[in-house]
């Protein structure tokens, strides 16, 4: 299975910059992009209902229309079929209250959007680790449900 990351951000410029930062760090997972939390949640629920593989990790912004990243985090962690997916926050919000709320809701990490492409090194390192954890979770799940 290819590595799969669900990236949730309403700013196409930020999406392109982040993906460029990933490529420069030689990190190129299969990325599915959602424009807001509602679209991301719809994708996740649809994948569950169709028994499609879930993403190994979710990377989300906070400030978005329709459903923000904190509400997405709350909903994912509240859904038994989704709660094990690791979630990272990548945002321009430097409000301490947002960081505390995100971590309190179960985010695995909280990053400020970098202003320089070299700053993606730590973000990539942490996301890789989260995706490896997600991959291990999938392997355990697959081994507990043998093919018939």
CATH number of the CATH domain containing 17: 3.40.50.2300
What confidence category does residue 120 fall into, taking pLDDT thresholds of 50, 70 and 90?
confident
Q: What is the pTM of this model?
A: 0.88
34 strand-pairing partners = 8
- pLDDT band at 117, cuts 50/70/90? confident
pLDDT of residue 116: 83
In the structure, what pLDDT confidence band is assigned to residue 136 with cuts at 50, 70 and 90? low
Q: How high is the pLDDT of residue 134?
A: 66
Q: What is the pLDDT of residue 135?
A: 64
* Nearest one of 45, 47, 69, 68 to 58, comparing CA atoms: 69
- Total tally of structural domains belonging to the chain: 1
Helix axes 69-78, 96-105, angle to 10 degrees: 20
Residues of the chain with pLDDT > 70: what percent? Answer: 88
Q: Domain limits at 104? A: 4-144
């Amino acid at each position: 299975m290819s590595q799969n990351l669900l990236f949730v951000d309403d700013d196409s410029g930020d999406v392109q910059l982040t993906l460029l930062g990933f490529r420069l760090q030689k990190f190129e997972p299969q990325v599915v992009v959602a424009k807001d939390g509602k679209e991301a949640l719809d994708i996740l629920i649809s994948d569950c209902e169709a028994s499609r593989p879930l993403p190994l990790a979710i990377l989300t912004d906070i400030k978005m229309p329709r459903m923000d990243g904190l509400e997405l985090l709350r909903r994912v962690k509240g859904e038994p079929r989704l709660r094990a997916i690791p979630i990272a926050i990548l945002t321009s919000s430097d409000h301490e209250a947002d960081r505390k709320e995100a971590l309190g809701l179960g985010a695995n990490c909280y990053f400020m959007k970098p202003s320089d492409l070299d700053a993606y090194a730590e973000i990539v390192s942490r996301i890789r680790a989260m995706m490896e954890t997600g991959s291990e979770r999938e392997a355990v799940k697959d081994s507990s449900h043998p093919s018939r």
